[in-house]
């Protein structure tokens, strides 16, 4: 862990940096960057008075579900719904949210419970 976050093995990172291109991406407030989950990446500390948000999407095939209970979500079948189901949605209840629980998932940190 580094600065409270899980990170890549730093010895391996040093080896990779010797052989692969290191690319800097400068972003303005409100910009976003998308990359493959295997892409080594980092960001410098946020020194502004504003929050830095991140949103992580992770897609996996059902054949690649974790082999044991883990803090990442397990595979569960998706129900196919009509195209207008989002517009007609009346409930935002989400099932299978155990992986969001900071008491069982070491990657979830509650920064401020008042927000």
Summarize pLDDT for 54-95 with one digit per residue, the tens.
777 766 677 766 666 666 666 677 788 888 887 887 876 766
pLDDT at 115 over 50: no
pLDDT more than 90, % of the chain: 0
- As a whole number of angstroms, the distance between CA 64 and CA 50 comes to 37
> pLDDT at position 3, please?
57
* Distance of alpha carbon 112 from alpha carbon 83, whole angstroms: 36
What average pLDDT does this structure show over 21-49? 83
| pLDDT of the residue at 66 | 66
Query: What CA–CA distance (Å, rounded) separates 75 from 62?
Result: 6
Q: What is the mean pLDDT of the chain?
A: 76
Q: Which domain holds residue 37?
A: 1-115
Q: For the chain, how many structural domains are there in total? A: 1
* pLDDT score for 71: 60
């Amino acid at each position: 862990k580094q600065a409270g976050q899980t990170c890549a093995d730093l010895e391996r990172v040093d080896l990779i940096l010797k052989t692969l291109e290191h690319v800097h991406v400068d972003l303005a407030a409100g910009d976003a960057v998308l990359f493959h989950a295997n892409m080594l990446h980092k960001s410098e500390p946020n020194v502004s008075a504003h929050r830095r948000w991140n949103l992580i999407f992770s897609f996996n095939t059902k054949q690649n579900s974790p082999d044991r209970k883990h803090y990442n979500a397990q595979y569960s079948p998706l129900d196919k719904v009509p195209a207008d189901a989002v517009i007609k949605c009346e409930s935002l209840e989400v099932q299978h949210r155990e992986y969001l629980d900071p008491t069982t998932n070491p990657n979830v940190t509650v920064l401020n419970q008042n927000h």
